[in-house]
Structure 1
Amino acid sequence: MRRNFLTALLALACGFAGAGLWSVSGLDNARTRAWLVANPEVLPEMAAALQRNEAQVRLAEVGDAVARPFPGAVLGNPAGKRVLVMFTDYACGYCRSSERDVARLIAADPDLKVVIREWAIFPGSENAARMALAAAQQGRYAAFHKAMFAGGAPNAEGVARAARAAGLDMARASAFAASDRAAAELARTTQFARTLGFAGTPGWIAEGQVIEGAVGYDRLKAALDGSEAA
């Protein structure tokens, strides 16, 4: 993987360095290497450009489907025109800390729809993700989502407590959580995450930008505004 990345960087360097890096017989690797050694400040820019290009290719593979939520699994304005997609896990501490940023973004923009994709990657979190989908089906997703993150670990007691706090019909919720439909939705989200190249949670899509990690309010706001943030 590292070899492929360096090869791609080398190819990208040609475009940055210009025609002077080419010989009559093709790419002059020695001259390219020398130029890069003499101008190392371009490497971070090249790496960022390469990552953006690769992200766009992956995003095109998932298409618009990734931004279409499981019915009800949204925060903010369900009819909002500006969309932030968040891949999250209730056992993820970084996801929990990012909840403040998401709440702040929603408060600042009444046209923001936050599509939550339940990506249960931590041990013990799948039951919480399944119950979250059950809450979405009952129109109580936001209440369950908030109670789940406020309640600590997503163990059986925590999931039941959050479900009661959200006012779920427990019999209906338990039946749906155990259903093939819930399993299929979790599998679908996992496939989206793998296609996008996410290594963990949280993961984000904002205005065509694929972002990984707890990057904070400013970075997410900049992406939603269609700009890059340092």
Structure 2
Amino acid sequence: MTGEQKRAAERALEQRIGHRFKQGDLLTRALTHGSATARGGASDTSYQRLEFLGDRVLGLAVATMLHHAFPQAEEGELARRLNQLVRRETCADVARELKLGDAIVFGGSEAQAGGRKKTAILADVCEAVIAAVYLDGGLKAAQDLIERHWRPRMTNYKGPLRDAKTMLQEWAQGLGKPAPLYRETERSGPDHAPIFVVRVDIDGYDPAFGRGGSKRIAEQKAAEAALTREGLWTETKET
């Protein structure tokens, strides 16, 4: 790619992002994978530090949007909407809309291994770009970017607005059943990264199981499994 072609590509990317960078090195760093750095992943020359900051900027902007858009919503509903909007898959979808994958700089064989299409990498780069816009143009510039791409997702969200355990308990009570009973059935992995398996029993129904990095997550997954079996939980799950 010639210098002129590179500059044209950068201008096209800035147009898709909706921000003209004064500090071009910020965008370059936001698009640089750790495999392309001289020290193989140094956070000061790749997107890692920017991704950390962008995650917080995104959370603040989305929480503010939700606060104004749903003035009657309780904290639990707002939290559930927030979790769906800032989750990895949502960020990766926005990255695909912006065609960020085409602009990521890789080193070694990561690009040949499909790095440009990996959900985790796309999500991280998306958050890094948000941070780059924030540092270059301020909070308003970052909020504008987030508004354009997250507001339609906020208004079109059709998933359940309560957590799975609450929904399962209300469903069981509606059938005149006792509250679901959760029991840990298995624990594996090292102490710093345990994996729990939880079983949930509802009177008159087969048990359902969930797995997660904490008992709370495993219980939620078990409740989701029970609700899914009854056709009551159709939300796309996070992997």
TM-score by length of 2: 0.24
Higher strand share: 1
